Amino acid sequence: MSRQNKIRVLMVGPDRSVHGGISGVVNNYYEAGLDQRIDLCYIGTMVEGSKIRKLVQAVKAFLQFLVRLPGYEIVHVNVASDSSYYRKTFFIKAAKHAGKKIVIHQHGGDFEGFYDRELSDKGREKVRKVLSMGDVFLVLAPPWKEFFGKLIGTERITVLPDAISIPPYTEKKHGVHKILFLGRICKAKGIGELLAVMPKLKEKYPDVQLYLGGIFEDKELEQQAYALKDQVTCLSWVTGEKKERYLRECDIFVLPSYFEGQSIAILEAMANSCAVVASRTGGIPQMIIDGETGILIEPRSESSLQEGMEKVLSDDDFAACLGERAREKAAAEFSIENNMERLIHLYEGL
């Protein structure tokens, strides 16, 4: 199909090199061939590093956006909360002023906290006005449709869960008691509680080992993790074949987040037949059916986390059953191919 006949989409979000969920979603779309199906131009608005480096990137991205804007029909804005929201308001307003169709894709796991606790009444009014500029408003899970529906109405809101490429089936060896975490290593991901329960789990299950895949954002947590070197292995940020290897070798995956939009890491663990233990928050209950495709725990609770971990550590057959059902659910509901078809259909509707 020629460029003239393809839908032209200008998409913005964090640079594809950034370590985070939105970048993972965008990279999954590219790997699935979205840029072959439509005329897609992606502009990275944020990079990791110093505040000056981030500011320079934001200004450069906005200027590039203004140059590109006339040649595209649809603007797709990936947005979270806090600084991500403030940064994206410039792009949304510019697209609206240019008369473009706008897709606002909301990924922020704590947007509700940002909206309720950090904004004044005037600030909340501005948020409602900006978010109402979208012709389509995408959220990751039904609870977010309910929340944002109160701000802008539900008629333009569509639930579009994150998705991944489902890997070929490989038999999972359960009972090795290798626990994997992938993501930002910070307090909001429940790492403090996770490190606190590890010695207790080690006492009951001597072979248990935790693998932390991610970048430390908290010095205190880093010191705690390295102090537990007999039961915690720090992997740094893992990608590609290294990540795939740990997803295959580890039989348990844990994500005790305080809040979460959704989680690409959980989907990857499900697709690799891991027994998942994760917080009952955000879009996670859409993926994890407690006792069927994983174990749900209460966020910020050491006791709930320990109880959930012991459910899968104490019964290898149960853990294997959770992993098998998790893979089936991931393949049926969260494949990137199905997700991409839905997104293209939404573009066509615009």
State pTM to two decimals. 0.86
The pLDDT score that the predictor gives to residue 2 is 52
322 touches 313 (CB < 8 A): no
- The reported pLDDT for the residue numbered 108 is 79
Measured CA to CA, the distance from residue 158 to residue 142 in angstroms comes to: 9
- Is the pLDDT confidence value at 155 over 60? yes
Bridge partners for 12 per DSSP = 43, 77
Q: What is the pLDDT at residue 241?
A: 93
Residues 6+ apart with CB under 8 A from 331: 166, 271
Q: Looking at the predicted structure, is the pLDDT value of residue 282 above 90?
A: no
**Are the C-beta atoms of 81 and 144 separated by less than 8 Å?**
no
Res 15 pLDDT > 90? yes
The SS3 assignment for 166 reads coil
Give domain 3-163+336-349's CATH architecture. 3-Layer(aba) Sandwich (3.40)
Q: Where are the domains of the chain?
A: 3-163+336-349, 178-333
- The residue-averaged pLDDT of 42-52 equals 93
% of the chain exceeding 70 in pLDDT? 99
Specify the residue for token string 């986390």.
Answer: 305
Q: Is the pLDDT of residue 42 over 90?
A: yes
Question: Hey, what CATH class is 178-333 in?
Answer: alpha beta
- Residue 159 β-bridge partners: 139
Say what the pLDDT of residue 185 is: 95
pLDDT > 90: percent of the chain: 88
Of 106-115, 254-263, 264-273, the range with the lowest mean pLDDT is 106-115
Whether 11 has a pLDDT exceeding 70, the answer reads: yes
Q: Mean pLDDT throughout 247-273?
A: 95
4 pLDDT tier (thresholds 50, 70, 90): low
Tokens of 217: 């954002």
Sign of CA dihedral 333, 334, 337, 341: positive
Are residues 87 and 56 in contact, defined by beta-carbon separation less than 8 angstroms? no
> Which position has the higher pLDDT, 300 or 5?
300
- Residue 339 and residue 171: Cα distance in Å, rounded? 26
So what's the pLDDT on residue 150? 95
Closest CA to 189 of 44, 21, 49, 329: 21
For the stretch 160-216, pLDDT in tens is 999 999 999 999 999 999 999 999 999 999 999 999 999 999 999 999 999 999 999
Position 3 scores a pLDDT of: 56
pLDDT attached to residue 94 = 98
